[in-house]
Amino acid sequence: MDLSYILNHLGEDRASYHGAVAPPLVQSSIFAFPSVADMRAGFRDEYAQHMYTRGNNPTVAMLRRKLAALEGAEDCLVFGSGAAAMAAGVIACVGQGDHVVCVARPYSWTRSLLQDFLPRFGVGASFVDGTDSAAFEAALTPRTRLIVLESPNSMTFEQQDLAAVAALARRHGIRTLCDNSHATPLNQSPIALGIDLVAHSATKYLNGHSDVVAGALCGEAALLRAVFKGPYMTLGAILSPHDAWLLLRGLRTLEIRMQRVAASTREVLAWLERQPRIRRVWSPQAADNPQLGLSERQLRGASGLVTIDLDAADVAAVERFCDGLERFLMTVSWGGYESLAFPVCAVFPPGAPLRPAAGLPLSLVRLSIGLEDPGILIADLEQALTRL
Ligand SMILES: *Cc1c(COP(=O)(O)O)cnc(C)c1O
């Protein structure tokens, strides 16, 4: 199935809604049955029937089909956030007394789920350096049920060799879940490499317009049925039909947005790598990335995240740089049409040291390259650097 077909047509039965080109927004919580027999059939299989929108909704179903196809998965469930999708995927795979192995620097709320939340229910976790495939095997216990991956991560872009980790997990009968938000399904296909579950913050590139918070979980239908009966229906962190409709609209331009982002990021990255006031540039495609070979093998293209380490004398200088940006908006998140800057120092109280003994330096600023003319972005970075 080609990409344009998925984005423009898959799951859209236009003849059944007057030939409307845009999909209908079925803003209904419930669906009525013509007979008791039909309603009984609905109860037998809520996964496949339209009865109640916490379970199934036609607008949401269209989105599920497209996202499943993009990931090369049998099915997909969508959620009210990426955090909900990750939590549902993990919770469906573990029970009391079980253990999870996770990469060392996952998304902050993935860490919180595994380190703070699930231990209350008797589920333990170990965090390992995912750039070393052998580290996963060394961390396994007899109760390990799941390996959680995020490749590349969204701040310093460490990657895992997905095929190698999937193969070792299969040897031990352990499931794998990979957060693929950064690469998008266009640039990386974890399921084709043997990963069981793929999660997305659809808030980022999949929607791409900074107006929806959403998540997705893709995998084999049998496994997703278990997710549906478990955390999906029980915790009820669903995506509203309206947000699904907005996401369908965002997806129309996914391919062209990612092409523009990749081209602009290449230009901005090359410029950043030449700046003497920048100590280091992080990106899966950065010339000095020790995993550049893995990037070339595992990723089909670049996304728009680049992290810079400013050659700043103190945190005040980092703040002058960030406050001086005129075209980059300063905030959390990434993956929208607009370029963003996220200063690590904003997470720390005033007076924190520039380069703490452990953890990330406060001189880091993550950039998300959007759809603007790259020349305008470079000019903005150039003027802001003079304020350092
Ligand atoms: C944003 C993000 C999430 C969480 O997604 P939300 O939609 O914000 O809940 C998960 N993983 C990664 C890598 C993210 O960047």
Whole-model pTM: value is: 0.98
Q: Tell me the domain boundaries of the chain.
A: 3-251, 254-385
Residue whose CA lies nearest to ligand 1 atom number 7: 82
Which pLDDT score, from 0 to 100, does residue 278 have? 98
Residue whose CA lies nearest to ligand 1 atom number 8: 82
Which pLDDT score, from 0 to 100, does residue 1 have? 87
- Selected from 3.90.1150.10, 1.25.40.20, 3.40.462.40, 3.30.1320.10, the CATH number assigned to the domain covering 254-385 reads 3.90.1150.10
**Ligand 1 site, residue 154, Cβ cutoff 6 A:** yes
Which pLDDT score, from 0 to 100, does residue 109 have? 98
Contact 161, 298 (CB under 8 A): yes
Give a three-class secondary structure readout of the chain. Answer: CCHHHHHHCCCCCHHHHCCCCCCCCCCCCECCCCCHHHHHHHHHCCCCCCCECCCCCHHHHHHHHHHHHHHCCCEEEEECCHHHHHHHHHHHHCCCCCEEEEECCCCHHHHHHHHHHHHHHCCEEEEECCCCHHHHHHHCCCCEEEEEEECCCCCCCCCCCHHHHHHHHHHCCCEEEEECCCCHHHHCCHHHHCCCEEEEECCCCCCCCCCCCCEEEEECHHHHHHHHHHHHHHHCCCCCHHHHHHHHHHHCCHHHHHHHHHHHHHHHHHHHCCCCCEEEEECCCCCCCCCHHHHHHHCCCCCCEEEEEECCCCHHHHHHHHHHCCCCEECCCCCCCCCEEEEHHHHCCCCCCCCCCCCCCCCEEEEECCCCCHHHHHHHHHHHHCCC
- Local mean pLDDT, 10-residue blocks, the chain (388 residues): 97 97 98 97 92 97 98 98 98 98 97 98 98 96 98 97 98 98 98 98 98 98 97 98 98 98 98 98 98 98 98 98 98 98 97 94 98 98 97
Ligand 1 center to residue 157 CA distance, Å?
14
Which pLDDT score, from 0 to 100, does residue 151 have? 98
Same topology, domains 3-251 and 254-385? Answer is no
Ligand 1 center to residue 81 CA distance, Å?
7
CATH architecture for segment(s) 3-251: 3-Layer(aba) Sandwich (3.40)
Ligand 1 center to residue 252 CA distance, Å?
21
